[in-house]
Amino acid sequence: MTHNIENVVDINLRNIATQIPRGRYYFRRHVVRYQKILKSLSGKGPLTILDIGVGYGFLAAAMKKAGHRVFALDFFYGEVAEEVCRQFAIPLLMLNMEVHELPFQDESFDVVVLGEVIEHFTSDPVGSLEKARRVLKEDGMLIVTTPNSLSAVNRIKRFLGQGDRLTYQSPVMVSGNSYLYGHHRLFCMDELQELLEKAGYQVCDRQIIFPGKVSPGGVRGLLGAVVVRLICLLVPKLKNILLVIARPI
């Protein structure tokens, strides 16, 4: 089973004109994360997978194309995710797992993916991780990715007096309730492992990775990207994204 998803995204974005620019940017920025996750599934299929935080649907489509049975879930989603999931016959649910129970039986999934989700939780990340553990099989695998709070980029932002973006002016409306969209809490690797252990998991693998390739804006952006890359080559723990694989205890 391949873990190259370039062709999958080209297929699904070709006819979705209204969101192609944003979708392609998001894909390029997260392609390394997608490939790492797909590589961790290689040789283990076919698996039943719950993709929580489906986003644009790129990873869910790639996992389905790799031969897995995939279910997708998100707090809210747009027309790109709907179209991608429709094309690949992936069930797509809208649900806030912080508020509601996951609508699946115990031990339903071989794998649960929480991709760039935990930083959006507003109240009880341990409780949400416990909900994910309930639907995992005894020998199942949880895959979590999230921005690294101690990355070089975040340290530079703090030095410049900048915080993480949280949108107050345009809250998201879901089922009549208003939610602030953005990163509510970032974690470092040790904090993420502590959360997982409190929720009843054993961490099996920890990685800190670069995001995918994006084109920085202007000369300043290019120079900044080069400086960050050099810093992270010298100090790998300052890379941008945490990736953790854990199993229920």
Question: What's the pLDDT tens digit per position in 174-201?
Answer: 666 666 677 888 999 999 999 999 999 9
CB-based contact 196:123 (threshold 8 Å)? no
Length of the chain: 249
What pLDDT was estimated at residue 14? Answer: 40
Rounded CA separation 54/77 (Å): 8
Rounded CA separation 84/114 (Å): 19
Give the count of beta carbons closer than 10 Å to the beta carbon of residue 227. 12
Rounded CA separation 7/17 (Å): 17
Split at pLDDT 50, 70, 90, the class of 81 is: confident
Token couple for 18:
């209204």
Tell whether the model's pLDDT for residue 218 goes beyond 70.
no
Give burial (CB, 10 Å; 0-12/13-18/19+) of 184: middle
The one-letter code for the residue type at 168 is: Y
**Average pLDDT for 128-152:** 96
CB-based contact 94:77 (threshold 8 Å)? yes
CB-based contact 121:184 (threshold 8 Å)? yes
* pTM given for the model: 0.87
Tell whether the model's pLDDT for residue 69 goes beyond 90.
yes
CATH T-level assignment (fold) for domain 6-248? Rossmann fold (3.40.50)
CB-based contact 83:111 (threshold 8 Å)? no
**Average pLDDT for 123-146:** 96
The one-letter code for the residue type at 227 is: V
Q: What spatial distance separates the first Cα and last Cα of the chain, rounded to whole Å?
A: 28
